[in-house]
């Protein structure tokens, strides 16, 4: 296990945040679940998780991770950032899977989970990849991300990018 410094943790989380926030620009796309239904008759993931959105998330997230790694001459940052990005994308997808199993339609609000699913995913994948995030930064980011998520989604709604303000 390698310990990440305060800055390294913050930058890995930044890459995860960019990955999580960028797919909203895609709008409609090909559903990741190809429109398929799970054994409960409900959609596996729903129309809110698209192939295009997932590619955009990984692309922009990795761009941040690589840029930070190169700028700070810290190769570890590229690997940590990439892990955080992958965790963010997976966390968001798993949350949709859980929402559909609970019978909640695409886009329905589930406070806390909607805002922090990707964050938990990114922390878990950082750990799985052998990186210990700075505990203070990791803890301090959670409420910050919650507030930022709410604000940016409201802004995206007002700008007509998103259908709902959450």
In the complex, what is the shortest distance from the CB of residue 19 to Mg ion, in angstroms, rounded to a whole number? 15
In the complex, what is the shortest distance from the CB of residue 160 to ligand CTP, in angstroms, rounded to a whole number? 13
Residue nearest to ligand CTP (CB): 53
3-state secondary structure of 107: coil
Closer to ligand CTP at the Cβ: 76 or 162?
A: 162
Helices (H), the chain: 6-21, 51-71, 75-101, 113-128, 135-158
In the complex, what is the shortest distance from the CB of residue 46 to ligand CTP, in angstroms, rounded to a whole number? 5
Contact string 92-131 vs ligand CTP (x = CB under 6 A): x---x--x------xxx-----------------------
Buried b (16+ CB within 10 A) or exposed e, 68-94: bbeeeebeebbbbbbbbbbbbbbbbbe
Phi-psi region of 49 (alpha: psi -120 to 50; beta: other; left: phi over 0): beta
Q: Which residue has the tokens 């052998």?
A: 130
CB of 42 closer than 8 Å to CB of 18: no
Q: Residue 92 touches which of Mg ion, ligand CTP, none (CB < 5 to 8 A by kind)?
A: ligand CTP
Determine the Cα–Cα distance for residues 98 and 103; give it in Å rounded to an integer: 9
Residue nearest to Mg ion (CB): 114
Binding site for Mg ion (CB under 5 A): 114
Closer to ligand CTP at the Cβ: 27 or 135?
A: 27
The residues that touch ligand CTP, with contacts defined as CB under 6 A, are 23-24, 26-27, 29, 46, 48-50, 53-54, 57, 92, 96, 99, 106-108
């Amino acid at each position: 296990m390698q310990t990440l410094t305060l800055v390294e943790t913050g930058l890995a989380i930044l890459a995860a945040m960019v990955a999580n926030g960028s797919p909203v620009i895609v709008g409609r796309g090909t559903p990741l679940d190809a429109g398929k239904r799970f054994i409960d008759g409900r959609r596996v993931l729903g129309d809110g998780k698209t192939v295009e959105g997932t590619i955009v998330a990984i692309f922009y997230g990795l761009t941040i991770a690589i840029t930070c790694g190169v700028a700070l001459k810290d190769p570890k940052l590229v690997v940590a950032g990439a892990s955080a990005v992958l965790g963010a994308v997976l966390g968001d997808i798993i949350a949709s899977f859980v929402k559909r199993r609970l019978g909640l339609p695409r886009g329905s609000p589930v406070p806390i989970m909607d805002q922090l699913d990707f964050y938990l995913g990114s922390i878990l994948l950082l750990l799985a990849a052998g990186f210990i995030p700075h505990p203070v930064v990791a803890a301090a980011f959670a409420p910050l991300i919650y507030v930022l998520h709410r604000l940016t989604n409201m802004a995206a709604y007002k700008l007509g990018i998103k259908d709902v303000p959450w």
